[in-house]
Structure 1
Amino acid sequence: MEDMRALSYGLGQQYFEERNYRDAIRALLPIVEETPGDVGTRLLLARAYFHSALLKPAEEHLVEILDREPTESYAHLLMARTLERQSRRDEATKHRRIAAALTGDDSLLASHGVRSQS
């Protein structure tokens, strides 16, 4: 069973790298359903949804990730981008600030109209 998961993950990652996001979703979704605590696979799935402009499923998976790993900086950044694409800028600002605080990278704020509190 572990071999099948590894094979599916590798296939999903390959599809993602080839920018074939819909097939990446098809490969990764069964893994996430079988192992919901696998944050890495869920994050790759959320990224594939985001790049496919399937913003609600991306947001749902990002919420799951952040519930499990609140210090996952990239998930906060991707959540901000997902919310911005839905014109939910106020909500996105919170996630940009958290991502900047976790990484120490204030450019995550400045490039998107959010000012740091220096």
Structure 2
Amino acid sequence: MTQPIDLHSEFLRADLLFTMGQPDAAARILQPIVDTEPRNEAALELLARAYYGSAQLGPAEAALARLVDLAPSNGWARRALARTLERQSQGGEAAVHHRVADALGAA
């Protein structure tokens, strides 16, 4: 019989790994958390940051798009999505998110 995952402890472990400069390890821990709790904005944001930090731009874009869908007024998510799109040579799509981020006062 398997033990249920303690999502909070796993989130904290992933956060620590991300902070220690191991975004790929953090992403591996975070993906099952986000799969279990798909509306958890904190886990989704950290997952997006981990994917971006490990240059996994496709998964980062998908996580950020989900975060923007959940929280359309999240200026940070809009800006991060725009930068991710830019890194994938999708400047036209990025511009839309930059404009929204600017309107929201995001840095």
Identity %: 37
Higher alpha-carbon Rg: 1
Instruction: Name stretches of at least 5 consecutive residues in structure 1 with no aligned partner.
Output: 109-118
Q: Single out whichever of 3-12 and 44-53 deviates more from structure 2.
A: 3-12
What is residue 93 of structure 1 aligned with on the other side?
Answer: 95
2:34 to 20, 32, 44: 32
Distance 2:88 2:31 in 1: 23
Q: Once superposed, which parts of structure 1, at least 4 consecutive aligned residues long, lie more than 4 Å away? A: none
1:3 Cα offset (Å): 7.6
Q: Look up the equivalent residue of 1:65 and give its one-letter code.
A: L
What is the Cα-based RMSD across aligned positions, in Å?
1.7
Q: Look up the equivalent residue of 1:97 and give its one-letter code.
A: R
Instruction: Name stretches of at least 5 consecutive residues in structure 2 with no aligned partner.
Output: none
1:85 Cα offset (Å): 0.3
Higher relative contact order (CA 8 A, sep 6+): 2
Please list the CA deviations of residues 34-89 of structure 1 after superposition, one character each: whole Å capped at 9, or x if unmatched: 00000111011011101111111111111111111111111101101100100111
